[in-house]
Structure 1
Amino acid sequence: MTEPPRSRRAEYAAATRTAIIEAARLLFARHGYFATKVEDIAVEARVAPATVYAVTGGKQGLIRTLVDLWSQAPIVAQTLSRQETLTDPDEILRDVAAVTRSMRETYGDIMRLMLSTAPHNPEVADGLRVATKRYRDAIEAVAARLGDIGGLRAGMTRAEATDILWFYFGYSGYFTLLDDNGWTYEQSERWLVAQATAALR
């Protein structure tokens, strides 16, 4: 069954919302959450400030939208679904590293924004908690799959495996290697797979 075509008004509303979100994301990454004003977002998106509030709920609403954009990206569900069909632990870990890398390349600006702003703003902190719960749940699902196929060291619990996976594939792994060490994504991905494999197996 095909969906009925959207009206011109609906298409315009969707385009306006997208323009506002993209403008906010750009300006938040460039200037930070606090230095970016709704008026700046409006200028970048070529809309009135009132439209930013009406369409997205202002800066707080935009933060929630960006959290959902990142933490509910289709690639997450697709990855977990695919991993249910995999039976090779090494393949699963390579897949996790590749998807985590892809998420960093696509949404790293949002992650950095949330991590740097959360300590200073309760609304952003709430958004980060939601995103982290989703992220951690996905990591736990990987740990469970590894346990189901015998991909964990004897005696290792799911909770321990989740903690180890989070250490390597949570927020800090790629950011430390990329930002602090100046490694490439390819170097980082290879190293994280090797270290996680050694720690889990």
Structure 2
Amino acid sequence: MMTRAYHSPTREAQTSATRRRVISAAQACFEERGYVGTTMRAIAQRAQVSVETVHQTAAKRDLLLAAFTLAVTGEDSQARLLDRPEPKAIFDDPDPVRRLRGIAAYVVRINTRVTPLWRVFEQAAAADAHVATEYADLIRRMHAEIRDALAVLAERGDLRTDRPADELADLLWLLVLPDQYFRLCEQSGWSVERYATWLAESMLHLLMGSDHHAGS
């Protein structure tokens, strides 16, 4: 006789809550101590769980990726950004200029949250082959999402056609990276508002051309 798998909603909710607590603790430790300086024991202490629970949650390199994903989306999921409610609402805006400004503002909100962890990720990738593999996959997925976003804009007739789509995708990826926020705001002393204006204008110029800055 086959037995039916037992599922306890309460237990699953507790497991999910513990995982999120561990990931949040890992994020804080990575940002404070760096990747090398963060130990599983430090994460356990921050999360107020046992070291065994941290190991059962994920390996250290996987906790770094999970922490980055949580910082970007607020969720423990690698679903595409384009499938999430906030970006979908922005893309539904009928005004192309306002839509691009909305995308830029969304990127700004993400970069102000994730820049410290992004830098940890880069540094860890340079020193750890396993993290380097995760980092390369993250870059690949970022490129793919940008190409998908530009395909949507192209279908609506909002994307300039005088430059190759692959080139636009590469340059947009460069613009939206947390690196630009770090260089301009944290190293050059720009305000977030100035950075946000620069990013929106740069995106409009890149994707729509110099004649499309007016509008909402």
TM over 0.5: yes
- Which amino acid is 1:136 matched to? H
Native 8 Å contact 1:147 1:158 kept in 2 = no
Describe the superposition over 1:119-167 as per-residue Cα deviations: whole angstroms up to 9, x where unpaired: 1111221221222222222221232233233333342221122122122
Q: Percent same amino acid at aligned positions? A: 27
3-state SS in 1 of match to 2:147: helix
Tell me the residue number matched to 1:33.
35
| Counterpart-to-counterpart distance in 1, 2:65 and 2:160 | 39
Moved more, 102-111 or 33-42: 102-111
Distance 1:44 1:159, change over 3 A: same
TM-score, reference length from structure 2: 0.78
| Counterpart-to-counterpart distance in 2, 1:198 and 1:64 | 32
Native 8 Å contact 2:115 2:179 kept in 1 = no
Tell me the residue number matched to 2:205.
198
Tell me the residue number matched to 2:47.
45
Native 8 Å contact 2:185 2:191 kept in 1 = yes
| Counterpart-to-counterpart distance in 2, 1:180 and 1:15 | 36
3-state SS in 1 of match to 2:198: helix
Distance 1:141 1:82, change over 3 A: farther
3-state SS in 1 of match to 2:146: helix
Native 8 Å contact 1:64 1:127 kept in 2 = yes
| Counterpart-to-counterpart distance in 2, 1:16 and 1:154 | 49
Describe how 1:70-89 pairs up with structure 2 within 5 A: 70=72, 72=78, 76-78=82-84, 79=86, 81-82=88-89, 84-89=91-96
Describe how 1:120-135 pairs up with structure 2 within 5 A: 120-135=127-142
Q: Tell me how large the CA RMSD over aligned residues is.
A: 2.5
Describe how 1:38-117 pairs up with structure 2 within 5 A: 38-54=40-56, 56-69=57-70, 70=72, 72=78, 76-78=82-84, 79=86, 81-82=88-89, 84-117=91-124
Q: 1:158 aligned to 2:159?
A: no
3-state SS in 1 of match to 2:9: coil
Structure 2's unaligned 5+ residue stretches are: 1-6, 210-216
| Counterpart-to-counterpart distance in 1, 2:202 and 2:192 | 15
Describe the superposition over 1:56-112 as per-residue Cα deviations: whole angstroms up to 9, x where unpaired: 233123124224433736754235534553443312321221111121133333322
Native 8 Å contact 1:76 1:138 kept in 2 = yes
Tell me the residue number matched to 1:137.
144
Cα deviation, residue 174, structure 1: 2.1
Distance 1:82 1:31, change over 3 A: same
Cα deviation, residue 188, structure 1: 0.5
- Which amino acid is 2:143 matched to? R
| Counterpart-to-counterpart distance in 1, 2:82 and 2:188 | 27
Distance 1:87 1:162, change over 3 A: farther
- Which amino acid is 2:9 matched to? R
Native 8 Å contact 2:26 2:67 kept in 1 = no
